[in-house]
C-alpha cells in the first residue's frame, strides 16, 4: 500500500467500485472494437496482427478489473 499524501482524502469504497466497473466496461468496449478491426482486416496484415495483440491485452485487462471488482464486493478493502 502506498503512503498517504497530505491534502488528499481517502477514496471511498463506492468510488473505487465505480472506477473498477468503468475500467472493465471500457476494456470490454475496446476489445469489441479491436475484434471488428481484426476480423475485417486482410489475413496476415499488420492491422490484423496489431488488432489481435490489442484485443488480447484488452480482454486480459477486462478480466483483471472484473475480478478485482468481484473481490472488492466479496471481501471489501483491507488497510
pTM score of the predicted model: 0.84
Classify the phi-psi angles of 63: left when phi > 0, otherwise alpha if psi is within -120 to 50, otherwise beta.
Answer: alpha
Backbone dihedral region for residue 60 (phi beyond 0: left; psi -120 to 50: alpha; all else: beta): alpha
Give the whole-angstrom CA distance, residue 46 versus residue 65. Answer: 28
Of the candidates 13, 24, 26, 3, the one whose C-alpha atom is nearest the C-alpha of residue 75 is 13
Q: What is the pLDDT along the chain (79 residues), one digit of tens a residue?
A: 567 788 888 889 999 999 999 999 999 999 999 999 999 999 999 999 999 999 999 999 999 999 999 999 998 887 7
Amino acid at each position: 500500500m502506498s503512503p498517504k499524501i497530505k491534502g488528499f482524502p481517502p477514496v471511498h469504497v463506492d468510488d473505487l467500485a465505480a472506477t473498477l466497473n468503468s475500467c472493465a466496461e471500457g476494456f470490454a468496449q475496446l476489445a469489441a472494437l479491436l475484434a471488428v478491426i481484426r476480423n475485417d482486416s486482410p489475413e496476415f496484415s499488420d492491422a490484423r496482427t496489431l488488432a489481435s495483440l490489442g484485443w488480447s491485452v484488452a480482454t486480459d485487462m477486462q478480466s483483471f478489473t472484473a475480478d478485482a471488482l468481484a473481490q472488492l464486493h466479496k471481501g471489501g478493502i483491507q488497510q
